[in-house]
Copies of this chain bind each other. A is one copy, B any other.
Amino acid sequence: MIHDATRKPTREGVIAALESLGDIPLPPTPLLPTEIRGVLVHVKCENLQPIGAFKIRGAWWRLNNLEGDHAVAVSSGNHAQGVAFAAKQLGLKATIVMPRDAPRVKLDNTRALGAEVVLYRRPGEDRDAVAAKIIEEQGGTLVHAFGDPWVMEGQGTAGLEAAHQLGREPSRIITCCGGGGLAVGLSLACPSAAINVVEPEGWDMVGQALARGELVHASDNPPKTICDALQPTVTKQLNLDLLAGRAEPGVTVTDEEVRNAQRWAYANLRMVVEPGGAAALAAALAGKAPIDKDTVIMITGGNADPARFAETIAG
């Protein structure tokens, strides 16, 4: 099936996606109150999803609207698990193209959910080409991790849930950002909320695109980051169009700020947060993102490599 490039994600789509989550059933993730820099904020705990990340939302909604019975995805690990989980529930086949250096825990979990995993080398090999070849040979539909309109709508259900739990629309949502699928979904779900996207230093392809008004590609020699889930080489035009004039200027965080946030979440929230999942929290703790009265901070994933997590919290 050819990807429908003309479909635009909508708030109505987000509402329909939330209804469809009731079929799994996938209960709302907790929205926990906590204090940051003297202000009560609300932390949306997507790391407590069954697959340990929000990606289950978009994957579920996309696969519910799939033509054919084979979903092909490209992912560093959390989208992989989301697609694998949804495919298993719906009795579909899933093939996931993942980087060789993805955290072992994400590779293992994806395989445990019954998906076929095809590895590629990062950087160097073109993961999209690998996926295209699979589709050419086997048939199937590409479920893009952030550029697919159903995926965007699905991710937005986290924002609707947070608004229901809060009893009103958040004034501000601070969110980790890879390619910008979640950010688009949240902006649709909560049209009056300020949206802050937070990316790792050197991997701010959405922040830079917002600043320049055009797509920006990662450099050939990008810096290392511990945020394995937040390394898109470029966002998509659809994401940029929907976030332009809607999101605040992008924010970047350092590895050390992210580790601080992981330690803070360990001690104060008693939760396991993976590096990429802690980026928004890192920005809030470091004072890089403003905090309003009804601010929601997205904690997006908890699939942290045990050895590295142990180093972080003991260090």
Contact residues in B for A306 (Cβ distance below 8 Å)? 263, 266-267, 313-314
User: Is A2 located at the chain interface by the 8 A CB criterion?
Assistant: no
Q: How far is the CB of A85 from chain B (nearest CB, A)?
A: 13
User: Is A7 located at the chain interface by the 8 A CB criterion?
Assistant: no
Contact with B along A4-33 (1 / 0, CB 8 A): 000000000000000000000001001011
State A210–B311 Cα separation when bound (angstroms). Answer: 43
User: Is A120 located at the chain interface by the 8 A CB criterion?
Assistant: no
From B48, B50, B272, contact of A272 by CB (8 A) = B272
- A residues 292-311 in Cβ contact with B at 8 Å: 302-304, 306-307, 309-311
State A266–B313 Cα separation when bound (angstroms). Answer: 13
User: Is A92 located at the chain interface by the 8 A CB criterion?
Assistant: no
User: Is A218 located at the chain interface by the 8 A CB criterion?
Assistant: no
Contact residues in B for A45 (Cβ distance below 8 Å)? 30
- Identify the closest chain B residue to A165 (Cβ): B27
User: Is A130 located at the chain interface by the 8 A CB criterion?
Assistant: no
Q: How far is the CB of A214 from chain B (nearest CB, A)?
A: 37
Contact residues in B for A32 (Cβ distance below 8 Å)? 27, 48
Contact with B along A170-210 (1 / 0, CB 8 A): 00000000000000000000000000000000000000000
Tell me if B52 and A270 are in contact (CB < 8 A): yes
User: Is A271 located at the chain interface by the 8 A CB criterion?
Assistant: yes
State A307–B314 Cα separation when bound (angstroms). Answer: 5
Q: How far is the CB of A117 from chain B (nearest CB, A)?
A: 18
From B50, B263, B271, contact of A271 by CB (8 A) = B271
From B269, B271, B314, contact of A310 by CB (8 A) = B314
User: Is A47 located at the chain interface by the 8 A CB criterion?
Assistant: yes
Contact with B along A72-111 (1 / 0, CB 8 A): 0000000000000000000000000000000001000000
- Identify the closest chain B residue to A47 (Cβ): B270
Tell me if B310 and A270 are in contact (CB < 8 A): no
Q: How far is the CB of A105 from chain B (nearest CB, A)?
A: 7
Tell me if B272 and A105 are in contact (CB < 8 A): no
State A99–B32 Cα separation when bound (angstroms). Answer: 31
Tell me if B267 and A105 are in contact (CB < 8 A): yes
Task: Supply 6 A–B pairs (Cβ within 8 Å), ascending by A.
Answer: A30-B30, A34-B50, A47-B270, A266-B309, A267-B306, A310-B311
Question: 7 smallest A-B Cβ distances: which pairs?
Answer: A270-B302, A310-B310, A310-B314, A270-B272, A30-B30, A47-B270, A306-B313
